[in-house]
């Protein structure tokens, strides 16, 4: 059957159209699916901490290449651990950082990932394996994920056509391809679901080695939840409450965004290496991806099957028990839902610049129900809440949204799970409004002023559990500060000042308050720092001469601001591509808070509208935490 592909020819077509000669060999590779050839975990010192190879998949790799020409099957075997470690170290040396720059710079050259000029090459890398006896080759696509201090490398099986297409992309001498050209990176990636699968594998392995395998939180309305303070501290930008929205926050962009003490060092080693349980990982791999083909990447499931096996209970109906529900719940029945929303906001307090407010929410569920019941949940108010995007757990069958409504039907899995993720604008004023000013009165002293209004327009049951303002000074060392806030307490560390306005235990509900804080902050004198950034050396040879201009400018008085700005930014480092902006170049204050009792998007569910079939008498509880 001839494949009809409109427009741009895709790679699969060529594989299929030549399939007549050696049908089963050629076809064996095309068409998706995901199999893993090998997994490596490297330490920051370029030692292999763990590796796993899959012989069955490797055989398929050899067979596929043998079809390309006799003897080709043996040309690119899986490298030894030390060869992978050496290749990884070599790549880091050539690219400048472990992940690589992801954008073509002056340091990029033909054959380097950054030559391809796409940020995804920081996550899907190629490794040049050098053989002592000559005949080196490329290992691609290696999915790279940095977790804790470790680098997780996952190599999926790809078809020779895709491999060659990428290889030729790496070697193209021109100025960089666009999506409108044949053989572009996008079409290669579209044809390789195995890369997507490998990401998920790397992801869960990362979770296991960092111990981040907890289920998403479902908040029970009674009793305060714990940990909010720390969570919000570690991951917040602008105004943020709660920072761990997803079940598996893989290199969660938000979470890494604003470590207060400068962010650009994410490739460098922070602290020691925490050892991980290799036996645990090994047994997970056996259960999750037998013979290299992933079948279940849910850590909870795989480990519970390993420890307790499948349930032996006879099923109440004639259905198949889902693979993601290895045993059935028994006990008191109830269903819990909770909404959790994270708001990211940038407040400018200016008439000409609109504030930026965006809510990302999730509806988490825990269904303690016996048997295999169907749960139906009608969602209403989608249009009112202006929900822009939503995605659902794989157990959910969602109806086509009509106007304001959409209904979800699902057989709930065990434990807590995220039923739905959504994005929406913030439909009410943010709970913290106001302004922050900082002006330097001398080289080492700044005067600042905060004027904030908290919870304006928020009526009970909205309750603000805590609220904290942070003034980060990543490039200066704070010596001391003066001034007392109208409410709350202040503390300082080397690079920041923290103002706790509302602390946990003493919530704010049913009223709004105004909080002001003015004072001065003194810094230790600057010590000259020399930046050693690859970006810098790449692009700025001409800057060495800037001192020439100094006198000229100061004499003329023209462009003084520009000149000062330039001088201040001289020691600024280029941020990673995972960051949203060059934080260190700005003076800003961060507000983190946590409130409960409602949602900011306005999207709420009605527990009474939840129906369960076959029907049981089970209470449905609902809690909200924006």
Partner 1 sequence: MDEALPGLLADVLGHAYALASAERSPAAQSYILLLASAARGAVRLGRLGSSASILAVSGPPVPFSVPAHLLSSPPPLASAAPPSEQNVREIRKVLALVMERPQVLTPAAAMEVTAIVAEVATAVLEWAPAIAAHVKVQFSGMAYSSSPMLLHSVLTLFAKFPDAFGAEDERKMARRLASAACEAHRPLPVRLLVLHWLLGSGRFRDSVPGLAKWFYPGMFDPLALKAKKLDCLGFVAATVDSDKVEGGSYGQQTTEFIDDGLVCVSAFRWLPAWSTETSVAFRALHRVLVGAAPHGTNDKGCSGAGELLNSTTFHHFQAMLVDMASEHRSLVPVIADFINRLLACTTHRWVGEQLLRTFDECLLPRLEPGYQLASYYPLFEKIAQNEAVPQLRLIELLTKQMVCLAKKHDPDTELKSWSQGSKVVGICRIMLKHHHSSHIFLPLTHLLVRTIESFPDLEIRDHARYL
Residue with tokens 């893989």: 250
Radius of gyration over every alpha carbon of the chain, rounded to an integer in angstroms: 28
148 in contact with partner 1 (CB under 8 A): no
Residue 202, SS3 per DSSP = helix
What is the C-alpha separation between 543 and 37, in angstroms, rounded? 47
Q: Using the rule CB under 8 A, which residue among 96, 260, 300, 326 binds partner 1? A: 326
Nearest approach, Cβ of residue 54 and partner 1 (Å): 10
Of residues 129, 150, 140, the one with CA closest to residue 82: 129
Using the rule CB under 8 A, give the single segment among 217-225, 338-346, 468-476, 603-611 that binds partner 1: 338-346
**How many residues belong to the site for partner 1 (CB under 8 A)?**
155
Q: Using the rule CB under 8 A, which residue among 294, 485, 598, 626 binds partner 1? A: 294
**Residue 262, φ and ψ in degrees, nearest 5:** 70, 140
What is the C-alpha separation between 198 and 343, in angstroms, rounded? 31
Of residues 448, 470, 469, 464, the one with CA closest to residue 513: 464
Q: Using the rule CB under 8 A, which residue among 179, 275, 331, 332 binds partner 1? A: 179
Of residues 439, 523, 525, the one with CA closest to residue 481: 523
Residue with tokens 């604008």: 425
Q: Which is nearer to partner 1, 207 or 498 (CB)?
A: 207
Of residues 170, 110, 162, 120, the one with CA closest to residue 145: 120
Percent of the chain that is helix, strand, coil (3-state, to 5): 25, 30, 45
What is the C-alpha separation between 585 and 582, in angstroms, rounded? 6
Work out the angle at residue 375's Cα, subtended by the Cα atoms of residues 370 and 378, and round it to the nearest 5 degrees: 155
DSSP string for residues in 541-593: GGGGGTHHHHHHHHHH-TTHHHHHHHHHGGGPPPPPTTSSS-GGGS---EEEE
Using the rule CB under 8 A, give the single segment among 129-137, 243-251, 458-466, 519-527 that binds partner 1: 243-251
What is the C-alpha separation between 364 and 350, in angstroms, rounded? 37
349 in contact with partner 1 (CB under 8 A): no
Identify residues 222-241 at the interface with partner 1 (CB under 8 A): 237-238
Q: Using the rule CB under 8 A, which residue among 575, 595, 600, 612 binds partner 1? A: 575
Identify residues 360-399 at the interface with partner 1 (CB under 8 A): 360, 362, 388-398
Nearest approach, Cβ of residue 465 and partner 1 (Å): 22
Identify residues 395-424 at the interface with partner 1 (CB under 8 A): 395-398, 411, 418, 421, 423
Q: Using the rule CB under 8 A, which residue among 149, 203, 601, 625 binds partner 1? A: 203
107 in contact with partner 1 (CB under 8 A): no
- Helical H segments across 439-576, by residue range: 534-539, 547-556, 560-568
The angle that helices 193-210 and 278-288 make with each other, rounded to 10 degrees, is 150
What is the C-alpha separation between 384 and 145, in angstroms, rounded? 39
Nearest approach, Cβ of residue 40 and partner 1 (Å): 18
Q: Which is nearer to partner 1, 103 or 280 (CB)?
A: 103
Q: Which is nearer to partner 1, 53 or 522 (CB)?
A: 53
Q: Which residues 6+ apart lie within 8 Å of 534 measured at CB?
A: 96, 97, 101, 105, 107
**Residue 310, φ and ψ in degrees, nearest 5:** -80, 160
Identify residues 108-147 at the interface with partner 1 (CB under 8 A): 117-120, 122-124, 143, 145
364's tokens: 């988490």
Q: Using the rule CB under 8 A, which residue among 38, 129, 195, 369 binds partner 1? A: 195
- The strand order across the sheet containing 406-410 reads 396-398, 406-410, 374-379, 611-613
Q: Using the rule CB under 8 A, which residue among 132, 133, 279, 318 binds partner 1? A: 318
174's tokens: 């021109």
Residue with tokens 């013979």: 291
CB atoms within 10 A of CB 505: 8
Using the rule CB under 8 A, give the single segment among 64-72, 511-519, 581-589, 612-620 that binds partner 1: 581-589
Q: Which is nearer to partner 1, 509 or 533 (CB)?
A: 533
Q: Which is nearer to partner 1, 424 or 455 (CB)?
A: 424
577 in contact with partner 1 (CB under 8 A): yes
What is the C-alpha separation between 126 and 140, in angstroms, rounded? 5
DSSP string for residues in 41-58: EE-TTS-EEEEEE-HHHH
Q: Using the rule CB under 8 A, which residue among 221, 333, 358, 509 binds partner 1? A: 358
Q: Which is nearer to partner 1, 398 or 438 (CB)?
A: 398
Q: Using the rule CB under 8 A, which residue among 132, 133, 178, 268 binds partner 1? A: 178
Identify residues 476-535 at the interface with partner 1 (CB under 8 A): 533, 535
Q: Using the rule CB under 8 A, which residue among 130, 296, 429, 445 binds partner 1? A: 296
Q: Using the rule CB under 8 A, which residue among 93, 132, 548, 557 binds partner 1? A: 548
Using the rule CB under 8 A, give the single segment among 72-80, 190-198, 469-477, 484-492 that binds partner 1: 190-198
Q: Which is nearer to partner 1, 233 or 463 (CB)?
A: 233
Q: Using the rule CB under 8 A, which residue among 128, 210, 303, 321 binds partner 1? A: 321
Q: Which is nearer to partner 1, 149 or 584 (CB)?
A: 584
**Per-residue interface string for the shown chain with partner 1, residues 248-287, x marking contact by CB under 8 A:** xxxxxxx--x------------------------------
- The gap between the terminal CA atoms of the chain, to the nearest Å, is 53
Identify residues 424-453 at the interface with partner 1 (CB under 8 A): none
576 in contact with partner 1 (CB under 8 A): yes
Nearest approach, Cβ of residue 614 and partner 1 (Å): 17
**Per-residue interface string for the shown chain with partner 1, residues 23-62, x marking contact by CB under 8 A:** xx--xx-xxxxx--------------------xxx-xx--
């Amino acid at each position: 059957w001839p494949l009809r592909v409109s427009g741009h020819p895709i790679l699969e077509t060529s594989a299929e159209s030549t399939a007549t000669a050696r049908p089963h060999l050629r076809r064996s590779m095309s068409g998706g699916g995901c199999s893993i050839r090998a997994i490596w975990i490297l330490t920051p010192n370029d030692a292999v901490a763990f590796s796993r190879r899959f012989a069955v998949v490797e055989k398929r790799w050899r067979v596929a290449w043998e079809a390309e020409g006799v003897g080709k099957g043996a040309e690119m075997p899986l490298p030894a651990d030390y060869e992978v470690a050496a290749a990884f170290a070599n790549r880091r040396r050539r690219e400048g950082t472990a992940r690589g720059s992801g954008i073509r710079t002056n340091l990029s050259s033909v054959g380097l990932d950054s030559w391809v000029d796409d940020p995804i090459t920081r996550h899907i890398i190629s490794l040049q394996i050098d053989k002592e006896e000559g005949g080196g080759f490329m290992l691609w696509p290696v999915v790279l994920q940095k977790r804790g201090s470790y680098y997780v490398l996952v190599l999926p099986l790809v078809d020779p056509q895709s491999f060659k297409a990428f290889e030729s992309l790496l070697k193209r001498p021109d100025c960089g391809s666009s999506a409108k050209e044949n053989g572009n990176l996008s079409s290669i990636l579209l044809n390789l679901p195995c890369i997507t699968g490998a990401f998920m594998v790397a992801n869960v392995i990362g979770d296991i080695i960092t111990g981040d395998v907890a289920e998403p939180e479902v908040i029970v309305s009674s009793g305060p939840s714990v940990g909010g303070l720390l969570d919000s501290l570690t991951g917040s930008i602008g105004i943020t409450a709660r920072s761990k929205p997803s079940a598996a926050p893989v290199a969660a962009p938000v979470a890494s965004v604003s470590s207060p003490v400068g962010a650009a060092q994410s490739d460098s080693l922070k602290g020691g290496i925490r050892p991980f349980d290799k036996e645990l990982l090994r047994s997970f791999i056996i259960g999750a991806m037998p013979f290299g083909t992933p079948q279940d990447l849910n850590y909870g499931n795989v480990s519970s099957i390993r420890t307790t096996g499948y349930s032996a209970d006879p099923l109440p109906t004639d259905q198949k028990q889902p693979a993601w529900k290895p045993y059935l719940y028994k006990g008191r029945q109830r269903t819990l839902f909770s909404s959790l929303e994270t708001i990211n906001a940038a407040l400018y307090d200016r008439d000409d610049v609109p504030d930026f407010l965006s809510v990302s929410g999730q509806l988490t569920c825990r269904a303690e129900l016996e048997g295999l019941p169907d749960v139906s949940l009608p969602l209403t108010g989608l249009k009112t809440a202006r929900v822009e995007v939503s995605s659902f757990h794989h157990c959910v069958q969602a109806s086509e949204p009509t106007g304001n409504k959409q209904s979800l039907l699902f057989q709930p899995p065990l434990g807590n799970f995220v039923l739905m993720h959504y994005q929406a604008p913030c439909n009410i004023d943010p709970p913290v409004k106001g302004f922050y000013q900082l002006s330097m009165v001398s080289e080492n002293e700044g005067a600042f002023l905060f004027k904030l209004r908290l919870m304006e327009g928020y009526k009970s049951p909205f309750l603000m559990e805590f609220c904290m303002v942070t003034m980060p000074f990543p490039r200066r060392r704070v010596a001391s500060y003066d001034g007392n806030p109208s409410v709350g307490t202040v503390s300082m560390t080397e690079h920041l000042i923290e103002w706790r306005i509302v602390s946990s235990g003493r919530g704010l509900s049913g009223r709004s308050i105004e909080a002001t804080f003015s004072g001065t902050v003194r810094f230790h004198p600057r010590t000259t720092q020399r930046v050693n950034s690859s970006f810098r050396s790449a692009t700025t040879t001409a800057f060495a001469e800037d001192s020439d201009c100094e006198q000229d400018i100061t004499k003329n008085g023209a462009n003084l601001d520009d000149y000062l700005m330039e001088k201040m930014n001289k020691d600024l480092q280029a941020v990673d591509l995972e960051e949203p902006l060059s934080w260190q170049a700005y003076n800003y204050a961060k507000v983190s808070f946590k409130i409960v009792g409602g949602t900011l998007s306005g999207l709420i569910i009605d527990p009474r509208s939840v129906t369960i079939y076959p029907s049981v008498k089970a209470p449905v509880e609902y809690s909200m935490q924006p």
